[in-house]
Amino acid sequence: MPGGIDFLVMGLSHRTAPLVVRERLAVAPDQIIETVRGLAKLPAVREVALLSTCNRVEVYIASPDPDAAIASLRQDLAERAGAEESELGSHLYVRVDVEAVHHLFRVASSLDSQVVGEPQILGQVKQAHDSAIAAGVAGPVLGACFTGAFRIARRVRRETEIARNPVSLSSVAIDYARKIFEGFTGRTVLLVGAGKMADLAARALRGQGAELVITNRTAERAAELAARIGGRVHSFEDLAGALVRADIVIASTGARQPVLTRDLVARALRKRRGRPLFLIDIAVPRDVEAGCAELSDVFVADIDDLQKQADQHRNGRRGEADRAEAMVEGEVARFLEAYRGRRVGPTITALRGHVLSISRGEAERALSSPPLASIGERERRGVLDLAEAIAKKLLHGPQVVLKRGGADPVDGAALVATVQRLFELEVAEPAATTAAVLPAEAETDAPSADKVVGR
């Protein structure tokens, strides 16, 4: 990016890392602000935002020294994951400048999601930027890039069919269970957790003949969801009892440790008399302890197991996804041209001010010394005008080159930075970068955090 500030992203996703690795870096929503404040203290980090979902953990950074920022962030993430840098490094990806902008635009548009077209990711991206703002670690670079992402995500939703009849990870899980049980009529489905994912699962199950049971640590939230979807509440303190009666369990809590432990499930099995139990875990970190899959008559599926089902959905929408990809490519080019063009103006202004100030200063110094000190006001004015005219003639060529080349997607940033270094120009980051690059309507694209908080 221009002005000596680069935009970059480092992270891992369902494409590069298994669930066992992703959950080690997952950050709970109530810890995001504290986490980004810590990340902002890393060397060479100017601005930072964190996106943590069940399918990805990504850190977006604006930095004057990308190599230093990447090195410090790589070490920090390894420490957070309790792993060696080499172990985690094989799962991490890094995108810088144009590639980073392109990646963010694809993520917000749900083109990089496990379920292409799912509607939750845009709200999560918006929430990531909102958290960075609340933490005081967001600035004009992140503001411009994220607002650009919101804009293209809205266009993709409006102008393509990939978001028509939107599909979520919860609904993919329901499809998975439907194939196992050949329908839900007469089945009891237990929802462990009462958040957005449970709400989406309940909507997908409504009217399909299943009895819906909700259990949650906060009884009020369970009661609210049950009233909304026509289910009933079971006490969380008697989770084992709920497991005894359930056929299918969909777990989506925000707990940091497994809620459905091997011992808990084993106790329930002793009263089930051989009835199979299907556990669908769509939480990160996982709600179902790994050892549960070893128990007789227990079948466990986590979000990575749902990948095949999600791939079928992706293939069904490939044509629309290709259209959306082309839209993203065009929007990235438009965004970068506007962004870099926006940065050329302050550099030209600073260069003009610098050169004209020197020319005037030198002319006034000459006028204060013999033999020019005794000339009249008209002659004095002529000398000053001559100095300014020469300076403007000298500025013409560099200004033309900056205007033409400064917005170039490949060499523009280097050109602007070189001019700033050669003339030691102090160019402040434009305060209105976001507004200048994108129309005001772009801000309205993303749902508010209180409306979309799914995974």
> Which sequence positions are flagged as catalytic?
54
- Taking phi over 0 as left and psi of -120 to 50 as alpha, with beta for the rest, 62 belongs to beta
Six-digit token pair at 42? 């890393």
Distance CA 79, CA 88 (A): 10
**Which distant-in-sequence residues (6+ apart) come within 8 Å of 192 by Cβ?**
198, 215, 216, 239, 249, 250, 251, 252, 253, 259, 260, 287
Q: Note whether 321 and 161 are within 8 A (CB).
A: no
**Cβ atoms of residues 342 and 436 within 8 Å:** yes
Between β-strands 298-302 and 188-192, what pairing exists: parallel, antiparallel or unpaired? Answer: unpaired
Going by C-alpha positions, the residue among 391, 392, 416, 390 that lies closest to residue 403 is: 416
